[in-house]
Structure 1
Amino acid sequence: MKNKCISIRKFEQNCINEDAVLAKEKRIAISDGAGGGGLFAERWSQYLLAHLPDIPIENVEKFDIWIEQIWEPFYNECETDAKQLGGLLLDKFYNEGSFATIVAVWKTSENECQWMSFGDSVAFHYNYITHKLQHSFTSLADFNKPPYLINCKDEPLKDGFKSGVFNIGKQSVVFVASDALAHYILMMYEIAHYEEFAQELNIAESYCTKNSNYIRAAKNIHSIHFERDILGKLLNCVGHSTNFHRHLNALIRKGLIAHDDYSLAVLENT
């Protein structure tokens, strides 16, 4: 069993990486801090993973209990820091809090992984025998919608929680990815299996968003071998920051992926 993870910030000046990533024995996770609102998104994402339990969060009731047990020390510490930053930022923290997504996978037996997610960070399972990709998300088009977010001061919306099981084998790879990277992976898998996913791709493209542009660019690629060209290249970059930077930079230049923080954690059977 190998556990690997990697996370890099946006390819822009003066940006901080708001993602947090975790890869431990039998447990992988990503939390994507949402800096578009509130304060301390990068701290909230790190805090969530630092307090992620060793056993699966199986349902929304257990998820609510977990958040209820951990939020207050984070809130109190950040309130103190916000007071030092000044009135406007303190008001922003009081009004908005801190936001993040989360996705996690626990290996519970030789043949099973349990996953849970809240937001648009995604868990994946790929089987090299069946050549099938399973994932925790809804559909490619739903990346165009605002994601559900965990707030450090408010009770999570129950509709945002999802959980499930991957039935795995020796020819399986299980991994988690933050939203921009997850969109790229799912999009390229569906393009590589176009006859099966033509309708889903067309629906996603019809939203006329930036994601539509990535789909159009992917459709223009002559042929895609998902295992070799997409999944294999990404997995080979985990643990090699320079290669990961180069690969993501190339995808941006080709118009295949959004500008964002990029995080990937892999739980691989050997």
Structure 2
Amino acid sequence: MRSRQQSVGKEAPAYSDNEDAFRAADEAGIWAVADGAGGTGIYAGEWAQHLTQQITDVPFRNVVELAHWLDGHWEGFFNTYYCRAEVDYLIEHKFMHEGSCATLTTLHYKENKLHWSVYGDAVALSFQPVAGKLLAANSDLHQFESAPYLINWLELPNSAGFQTGIWQHQPGQQYALLSDTLGQYVLMAYAALTGDTEPLRRLAQQPTALGNRAQAHLLYWSAKGGHFSESVWQPLRAALASPETFVPYSQQLRSQNLLGADDYTCILLED
């Protein structure tokens, strides 16, 4: 499998801070996206980077294995960043009492199978271009209504926040890992273009930013029409060619209120 990937921070290019991180090791068959949760704890982006770079070549089969892996990798991160935090009492207090948080999604390619895992509201997708069928590790749009489960070096992972599974690879099948807000866009667009609009309509009744985006998708795609592959998947794939294509791609979607303000990361895999 070969990959194309991009990651851009909020308000790029004016501001380049990016708390997302990714790993794309095509030869090893390992891919990962982590989304640092800056609203909780501290050093979220650094924690996301640490997680992605420490992913092993063995897929996570359950939350016990995830916890065992974290147990072997959190201490190095802690030792590095405690040295930075201790110079300021407030930073040290936040670090010690809130930790560092991120969501995480992974793919491992082994024996013609894609082993996926998701912790929190990151998004893992499998797409068959010929049939136009999209499968998601978690397709429920309502998962984005509440705060996600987060991996934190300060505590054990919660089994309620973890999902894992296997996709049998078929010729032409493509896959993607996305941080939450870009994943929301893809899932909302797919729901609107395939006629599965009831979840969008329920969301659109909520007086929230997520509800407003759901309404925007309903209005935009009902007027524009088209097929998901040509209208959503292929433009995303093309945008991953370079930062020069990915930044204006995300800016245009934001200007149409189809995409919320956030860091955006995507890895797309194909034969």
Cα shift at 1:130: 2.4
- Counterpart Cα distance in 1 of 2:235 and 2:111: 28
1:38–1:98 CA contact under 8 A, matched in 2: yes
Quote the residue 1:260 is aligned against: 262
What does 1:24-173 correspond to in 2, within 5 Å? 24-25=25-26, 26-84=29-87, 86-110=88-112, 112-173=113-174
Stretches of structure 2 lacking an aligned partner (at least 5 in a row): none
Q: Which amino acid aligns with 2:257?
A: G
Stretches of structure 1 lacking an aligned partner (at least 5 in a row): none
- Counterpart Cα distance in 2 of 1:213 and 1:150: 29
- Counterpart Cα distance in 2 of 1:171 and 1:208: 40
Quote the residue 2:23 is aligned against: 22
Summarize the Cα distance change of 1:140–1:224 in structure 2 as closer, same or farther, 3 Å threshold: farther
> More deviation in 178-187 or 215-224?
215-224
> More deviation in 152-161 or 202-211?
202-211
- Counterpart Cα distance in 2 of 1:199 and 1:253: 25
Q: Which amino acid aligns with 1:44?
A: W
1:141–1:203 CA contact under 8 A, matched in 2: no
Task: Work out which of the residue numbers 245, 248, 252 in structure 1 matches 2:247.
Answer: 245
- SS of the residue corresponding to residue 131 of structure 2 reads coil
2:41–2:98 CA contact under 8 A, matched in 1: yes
- When normalised by structure 1's length, the TM-score is 0.94
- Counterpart Cα distance in 1 of 2:203 and 2:16: 29
Quote the residue 2:11 is aligned against: 11
Q: Which amino acid aligns with 2:120?
A: G
1:44–1:100 CA contact under 8 A, matched in 2: yes
- Counterpart Cα distance in 1 of 2:7 and 2:17: 11
2:139–2:187 CA contact under 8 A, matched in 1: no
Identity percentage over the alignment?
A: 29
Superposition RMSD in Å: 1.3
- SS of the residue corresponding to residue 100 of structure 1 reads strand
1:5–1:22 CA contact under 8 A, matched in 2: no
Cα shift at 1:182: 0.3
What does 1:183-222 correspond to in 2, within 5 Å? 183-194=184-195, 197-221=196-220, 222=223
- Counterpart Cα distance in 1 of 2:97 and 2:227: 48
Cα shift at 1:239: 3.0
- When normalised by structure 2's length, the TM-score is 0.94
Cα shift at 1:15: 5.2
